[in-house]
Amino acid sequence: MLKLTHLFILVLSSSLYAAPSTELTLSLNPSIVKVHTANKQGNHGVGSGVVIAKDYVVTNCHVVADAQGIHVTKFGVSYPPFALLADWRHDLCILKFKYLDLQPITLGDNEQLAYEEEVFSKSYGGNTVKPHTSLGAVKG
């Protein structure tokens, strides 16, 4: 499962020494989805996910925890998953879909990451309509 943890880090980040170009960040947007949840009390939540392969999205388990209903949206289309694989210890969940017609992200090589190397992530924060970009550095 450690490889899956590294995979998620790489999916949401890329090793760059400066702020990423607009062209690069925009090219990733088709692979970033908004994850919607509803629980039995009627509360709704929103998070982010990344298309990692045909019919597969990775997200954080805390996003889908206690959800009675889950779906992801992209370009105004809603996709309900039919299976969930969870690694609660690493807070990673993989959602499986039957017909997820979205572009998978190109994965990087975690062996190339170095401590304090600058990275960026793409995600939906709050009620945003499109993914936003955050800058950071590799830690731990």
CB 102 within 8 A of CB 19: no
Contact predicate 121/13, CB 8 Å: yes
- Amino acid in the structure at residue 93: C
Buried b (16+ CB within 10 A) or exposed e, 28-59: beebbbbbbbeeeeeeebebbbbbbeebbbbb
- Can you give the CATH number for the domain in which 79 is found? 2.40.10.10
What domain range includes position 69? 2-137
pLDDT at 4 over 70: no
> What total number of domains does the chain contain?
1
- Which pLDDT tens digit goes with each residue over 59-85? 999 999 999 999 999 999 999 999 999
d(CA 10, CA 4): 10
Over the stretch 94-118, which tens digit does the pLDDT of each residue have? 999 999 989 999 888 888 889 998 8
